[in-house]
Amino acid sequence: MEIVLSGIRPTGNLHMGNYFGALQNFVKMQHQYKCYFFIADLHSLTTHPTPADLHGNVRTVLAEYLACGLDPEAATIFVQSDVPEISELYLLLNMNAYIGELERTTTFKDKVRAQPDNVNAGLLTYPVLQAADILIHKATKVPVGKDQKPHLEITAKYARRFNQLYKVDYFPEPEAFNFGESLIKVPGLDGSGKMGKSEGNGIFLADDPKVIRKKVMSAVTDAGPTVSNQDMTDAVKNLFTIMDIVSAPDTVLHFREKYNTCEIRYGDMKKQLAEDIVTYLTPIREKINDIYNNNAYLRKVVGIGTEKARESASKTLREVREIIGFRAF
Ligand code: ADP
Ligand code: TRP
């Protein structure tokens, strides 16, 4: 059976981009594939969180995973740092990762720009750790948003390189995956290309309705179309993209027609959009609060997940060590 794996760095609450780019796919896939979903807490160390923030963020993401419908009976749900085998595979893969190619990775260049005072080696080798996450379970499908494509290409390259170096057919080459469609990018409400944590333009799964309405009502638009079927500005296109995701098809059609005939009132569209987002997120928000405070349940979920993840990871590591030439006397 094909193996699916994905993770999210715990840096605070998850937003709609994380949900529609990644989480929603996790939920859809968990009953059809053998799935591993984890919290990438080692990756989050690249930004130096405080110990209290680190733990709190892991708890938040775990509660949000479960509230969105991840089922610990169906999928293996675990925390990256609970599986030390990943760190050992990361060390081994680093020997076949070249500095030049890591420096050229677009995500690394973005990080250097974003945090010029903290360009640590962990940031440079971030994709190697991500490759270890994926290869340790021999996953072939990785549900992530569009921005993660470069990391998946690097992982496939390292799988190939390992196989060639040791003349084996051991690691499969994984691919970025979106259930049934192309990779998704949820835009920002500020007219920017991407909704993101660091972009500061997120609508969070845990936001209450008042906050959601306020954020949507202040979304960037333009002066409105003046000729029929006018091309849309990026900001307005973004509003429609989000509406496509959360609203009923005839609602979207209604506002598209209004736009094309120059009768649109962005205020009305935003009100509708805000209500549709609230309807979508309310059941999720309610569950997040319950689960976040249920320590016994969280401990149980992580206990089961760690055991399953380590079983698979230690098997791979044993085989990799054998292939590389570490032999017992
Ligand atoms: P952020 O950009 O807020 O820091 P992450 O980079 O931690 O979010 O992303 C976690 C997951 O969510 C990844 O799979 C990523 O591809 C996905 N994701 C994040 N933002 C978006 C977005 N705006 N649209 C689609 N997917 C996204
Ligand atoms: N880099 C991913 C992100 O920022 C998180 C991640 C770490 C990941 N390891 C992974 C995603 C393995 C998929 C598979 O979102």
Q: Which two tokens stand for residue 63?
A: 């509660």
The pLDDT, as a whole number, for residue 1 is 84
**Predicted TM-score of the model (pTM):** 0.93
pLDDT for 199 = 85
The pLDDT, as a whole number, for residue 180 is 67
State how far the Cα of 289 lies from the Cα of 265, in Å rounded to an integer. Answer: 36
Contact by Cβ (8 Å): 292, 286: no
> Considering only CA atoms, which residue is closest to atom 13 of ligand 2?
6
Q: Give the pair of three-digit tokens for residue 139.
A: 């996953």
Q: What is the CATH number of domain 209-289?
A: 1.10.240.10
Q: What is the number of the ligand 1 atom nearest to the C-alpha of 202? A: 3
Nearest to 316 by CA among 5, 33, 29: 5
Pocket test for ligand 1, best of 18, 192, 197 (most atoms within 8 A of CB): 18
Which spans in 76-198 are helix H?
84-94, 99-104, 106-114, 121-124, 126-135, 149-165
- Tracing tokens 């849309």 back to the chain, one arrives at 232
Q: Hey, which residues are catalytic here?
A: 111, 194, 197
Helix (H) or strand (E) holding 18: helix 16-18
Q: Is 130 in the pocket of ligand 2 (CB under 6 A)?
A: yes
pLDDT of residue 200: 86
- Assess whether the C-beta atom of 43 lies below 6 angstroms from ligand 1: no
Quick one: tokens of 28? 């859809």
Candidates 3.20.20.70, 3.40.630.30, 3.40.50.620, 3.90.25.10; CATH matching 3-185+295-324: 3.40.50.620
Consecutive 10-residue averages of pLDDT for the chain (329 residues): 95 95 92 97 97 97 98 98 98 98 97 96 98 98 91 98 98 89 86 88 96 97 96 96 96 98 97 98 96 97 98 98 95
Show me where the domains of the chain are located: 3-185+295-324, 209-289
| Number of Cα atoms under 13 Å in the Cβ half of residue 157 | 16
Ligand 2, pocket-test mutation among 3, 35, 144, 146, most atoms within 8 A of CB? 144
Q: What is the rounded distance in angstroms from the CA atom of residue 108 to the CA atom of residue 130?
A: 13
Q: Which helix (H) or strand (E) holds 311?
A: helix 295-324
Q: What whole-number distance in Å separates Cα of residue 317 and Cα of residue 191?
A: 46
Residue nearest to atom 11 of ligand 1 (CA): 18
